[in-house]
Amino acid sequence: MSKRRVFDINFDTDDTDVPAGTPEAETRRGPMASAISENAAALEQRQTAEAAIRAENDRLAHEYVALKKDGAIVARVSLEDVRTSKLVRDRAAGVDPELEELKASIVAVGLSNPIHVEDTGQGYELIQGFRRLSAYKELLAETGDDRYAKIPAALQAKGVQLDQLYRRMVDENLVRRDISFAEMAGLALSYAKRTDGVTARDAVEILFASAGRQKRSYIRHFAVLVHSLGGDLKHAESIPRALGLKLVKALESDPKLMGQITSVLRAHPERTAEEEVQILASALVKKAPKATSPKTVVGSARTTFKLNQPEGVAKCTATDGRFEIQLDRNFGAVDPRKLEAAVRALLDQLRK
């Protein structure tokens, strides 16, 4: 039997060879393969991040459009960019007597209610706030102050139906024009009630400082009326100015009249606004002076008493149609508003 030769076959090996039985995934990769794998992972992360950013931007864009559609986005827009040609204004041409009050209010406290405009892409069309826009234009022309060159505006998305735009404009102007003296007086009374040391008269001066003196006087008179009959009035906003002023004068001259009016009002709980006004007007007719001889005073009672005060002793005297206080104090130096409030409180207390 011949001998077989055995050839030794040598393979190049190094210390880093993978041992037998090692999973294939853990085999060593070369530098190029590692770089490609790392670049692929980085690219995937970047694409994921960009997709998340696009999704967030889309969400914010839809939210912005929704808010804009509801007129909830407020910005300062240039007066030059606001046009008033789309809607025909429901205000008569001519001088607006209340525009000066609005301008004074804007100068004092700023614009509390922004105008509403429709974003057309090339500018803005006015929806609500013609008087406010006019006030800003006049203030800019009169003062040259740049702060009036732009006006706060609620941005409305384009595409709202024209009839809806008109409805919003008209409703706003109706509310602002039809606010009654009784409603303004009620606001003053509420403010005075919630604020320590503030009378109804003070509240009128504070809240309606921009109004004319005559208008503030009307509001103060209606404050007396609302305070006296407010609990029994259901349609105070329907009381005409002239009737309200006459009622206040009549109530001050005859305290018994208030009880008579309240009795009639309570007897008609389901009355309409027209019926309530008629009841109040009828009370004045009954108060009309009769063609009779003047009343002769047979005699009068007299009451006197004294009160200890920080200034000394106050001597009080009450007779028919007269009440007198004698005290070592200069009542002429007292704030007329405070003096009026004190006397009014006294009369209100005596009326109870």
Give the structural domain span for 140. 73-178
> Is there a domain that residue 332 lies in?
yes
Domain limit, last residue, from 137, 163, 178: 178
How confident is the model over 207-216, as a mean pLDDT? 83
Say how far apart CA 29 and CA 172 lie, in whole Å: 76
Domain limit, last residue, from 161, 178, 195: 178
> Is there a domain that residue 30 lies in?
no
Domain limit, last residue, from 178, 211, 231: 178
Residue 123 and residue 167 in one domain = yes
The pLDDT, as a whole number, for residue 136 is 95
Say how far apart CA 67 and CA 152 lie, in whole Å: 16
The pair of structure tokens assigned to 148 is: 């009036």
> Is there a domain that residue 51 lies in?
no
Residue 231 and residue 155 in one domain = no
Residue 164 and residue 114 in one domain = yes
Residue 191 and residue 127 in one domain = no
pTM of the model: 0.42
> Is there a domain that residue 297 lies in?
no
For the chain, percent helix, then strand, then coil, each to nearest 5? Answer: 55, 15, 35
The pLDDT, as a whole number, for residue 92 is 44
Nearest to 216 by CA among 239, 184, 179, 193: 184
Residue 150 and residue 198 in one domain = no
Whether the per-residue pLDDT at 290 is higher than 50: the answer is no
Residue 81 and residue 174 in one domain = yes
How confident is the model over 313-337, as a mean pLDDT? 84
> How remote is the C-alpha of 3 from its chain's centroid?
116
DSSP 3-state of 66: helix
Nearest to 78 by CA among 118, 141, 137, 165: 137
> How remote is the C-alpha of 10 from its chain's centroid?
96
Residue 213 and residue 262 in one domain = yes
Whether the per-residue pLDDT at 16 is higher than 90: the answer is no
Residues linked to residue 309 through DSSP beta bridges, in sequence order: 312
CATH code where residue 142 lies: 3.90.1530.10
Whether the per-residue pLDDT at 165 is higher than 70: the answer is no
> Is there a domain that residue 49 lies in?
no
For the chain, how many structural domains are there in total?
Answer: 3
Per DSSP, the residues of 8-49 read: -------TTPPPTT--GGGS---HHHHHHHHHHHHHHHHHHH
- CA distance readout (Å), 8 to 5, 13, 15, 17: 10, 15, 21, 20
CB distance 86 to 122 below 8 Å:
no
The pLDDT, as a whole number, for residue 298 is 43
Residue 321 and residue 251 in one domain = no
The pLDDT, as a whole number, for residue 311 is 80
> Is there a domain that residue 59 lies in?
no
